Amino acid sequence: MAAKFLGDASKVVTGSHDRTLKVWDLRKTWRNVQRFPHDGAPSVSFFPSAESPGRNFPGAWIALNGIETKFAGSSCNDLVTVDNAGSTIISGHFDKTIRFWDCRSESSANNIVLNGKVTSLDLARDTKYLLACVRDDTLKLIDLRMNQVVKSFSCEGFKVGCDWSRATFSPDGQYVAVGSSDGSVYIWGVSTGKVETILKEH
């Protein structure tokens, strides 16, 4: 269902319908397979740093370097890594919670509870803001310097269509966009919080 590369493209992690998380070393002919009791792996990711193999979030379980396993408490639908050192990971969950993970800690460093399942996360290029798509038919803008929701985007007619709806920042960080259940794409201005464009028939 999902695959992402390591920063230097030598490794890739995949999540599949057979309820496994597979870590592939593209320089070798073998693969490292980790199996966890979860309901599928809709999203996986790696640290940008080539020195760190990565902390993966298969469903409700977290595996650090394939050595230890942690329980996050809820299925993870999406995640982002914040810095090049890979010291901070943010995960979005079906229990309406965004969890902040410090790799030096045994548990999540901070949580933000929203009003619906978190269907996706996207990190602005400046890494100061996080965008969350939520099943309460809103997008939440989170200031990572304060770990607080600072803006909510919504509009009459906009509805998050499924548990895997994806929202994204524009490359310049000035806009956010997401698809609606009616097939339209809604685009908001970040600074104004207002709908700038609705693209129909998508």
Same domain, yes or no: 153 and 176: yes
Same domain, yes or no: 80 and 142: no
Domain with 145 in it = 118-201
* Stretches in the chain below the pLDDT threshold 50: 1-8, 12-17, 19-21, 29-71
Q: What is the pLDDT of residue 17?
A: 45
Has residue 43 been placed in a domain? no
Q: With CA atoms as reference, report the closest residue to 69 among 79, 58, 81.
A: 58
Has residue 37 been placed in a domain? no
Has residue 49 been placed in a domain? no
Same domain, yes or no: 90 and 126: no
Same domain, yes or no: 172 and 90: no
* Total structural domains within the chain: 2
Same domain, yes or no: 134 and 162: yes
Residue whose tokens read 């977290």: 62
Same domain, yes or no: 2 and 82: yes
Q: What is the pLDDT of residue 9?
A: 54
Q: Which residues pair with 2 in a beta bridge?
A: 15
State pLDDT tens for residues 62-112. 443 343 344 455 677 788 877 665 567 788 888 999 988 776 666 667 899
Same domain, yes or no: 161 and 105: no
Same domain, yes or no: 28 and 126: no
Has residue 52 been placed in a domain? no
| Residue at 18: amino acid letter | D
- Tell me which of 52, 81, 113 is where a domain ends: 113
At 130, which CATH number? 2.40.10.480
Q: CB-based contacts of 66: which residues, under 8 Å, 6+ apart?
A: 23, 32, 34, 53
Q: What is the pLDDT of residue 79?
A: 80
Q: What is the pLDDT of residue 132?
A: 97
Same domain, yes or no: 102 and 151: no
